[in-house]
Amino acid sequence: MKFCSQCGASVTLRVPAGDNLPRHVCDACETIHYLNPKVVAGCILEWQDRVLLCRRAIEPRYGLWTLPAGFMENGESALAAAAREALEEAHAESENLRLYGVYSLLHVSQVYLMFQGRLKDGYARPGEESLEVRLCAETEIPWDQIAFTVVHETLRQYFAERRTGQFHHHLGDIIREADQRFRIHRHY
Amino acid sequence: MKFCSQCGASVTLRVPAGDNLPRHVCDACETIHYLNPKVVAGCILEWQDRVLLCRRAIEPRYGLWTLPAGFMENGESALAAAAREALEEAHAESENLRLYGVYSLLHVSQVYLMFQGRLKDGYARPGEESLEVRLCAETEIPWDQIAFTVVHETLRQYFAERRTGQFHHHLGDIIREADQRFRIHRHY
């Protein structure tokens, strides 16, 4: 952020009075511009012993596999956002969505809300942002071609629990270390 | 948003190519500025049969009661944000935080992540944003002086379940109707 979105003047990064973190503050109108994490809503959609994966037709991670997920919009509910992403990326209708995992991605300031639900009628086909969609059993998951650590972690937890027949909620943080590797802090 | 935060030129609200919602697009550098929901992290902190409430020393809802809660910061985890808010608003240290409820507030584009945990040592005193803090048993909750619908709903669910001894996760949407009243859509 270089300019004030309210008046167009330049902004300075400084700690406003009564605050304890630097913010972008307008040099002219003094508006304080806060930058906050964005919410990504996504879902594991189940059909028999399979889950729906999409192969990305967009950057980043073009060509790699992911769960339907994307940025939540203003005025939308988290559940509606997850369902919309499945529709947009895979023409997939979802049923019985429940929140499964919440992951904070500190390096990109994103919060993933990952739902679990049923793929209605077992039907899916690629949306504009997908090259291909696939219903994968656990043995068919392309583990070394998953687009994002958070998706890998969600699928890993899901299949580990699926074998036990008991699903639990998960809360985790994903942290990028200095060597660029990701560390996963699993709170539960 | 009236000006581009990247170059300072004016912005126009229009649907970018390949998108389906109007966005603020810069007339000069063509940067697309997305506006997304903000995350609020908060907590129910328990001490014996009581929970910690704070009376607001700031607008909006000055003088009304709330749970510790506030905007999540960039680079922070959801759990850390909830713990930080309890510290800032009530000098309260929290233990064993677990996600309890997730609420989408459509009218203000906020997602509340409400945790449940233990107030360490039963100790709290007002922070700068609180006039007063109190440990309230169910019968002592000032139900008609609660600052926000989402806090009222969280406390209501919590005490209803507390009587049964079984806590479950909750997902809900809070919608402001045309008559300005709030409707709560409880998914579960």
pLDDT tens profile A165-188: 899 999 999 999 999 999 999 999
Nearest Cβ partner of B2 from A5, A75, A169?
A5
C-beta atoms surrounding A171 within 10 Å: 20
Domain boundary assignment for chain A: 1-35, 38-186
Interface predicted TM-score of the whole assembly (ipTM), two decimals: 0.95
Q: What is the mean pLDDT of residues A117-130?
A: 97
CATH number of A1-35, picked from 2.20.70.10, 3.30.950.10, 3.10.20.600, 3.90.320.10: 2.20.70.10
Does the pLDDT of residue A56 top 90, yes or no?
yes
Fold of B38-186: Nucleoside Triphosphate Pyrophosphohydrolase (3.90.79)
Residue in chain B lying closest to A96 (CA): B187
Same fold? B1-35, B38-186? no
Nearest to A184 by CA among A134, A148, A130: A148
Distance of alpha carbon A41 from alpha carbon A77, whole angstroms: 10
Distance of alpha carbon B33 from alpha carbon B11, whole angstroms: 9
Q: Which residues contact B15 (CB under 8 A, 6 or more apart)?
A: B21, B22, B23
What pLDDT was estimated at residue A18?
85
Residues 83 through 122 of chain B touching chain A, CB cutoff 8 Å: 98-99, 102, 104, 106-107, 109, 111, 113
Here the tokens at position A132 are 């291909």
What pLDDT was estimated at residue B172?
98
Contact A136, A145 (CB under 8 A): no
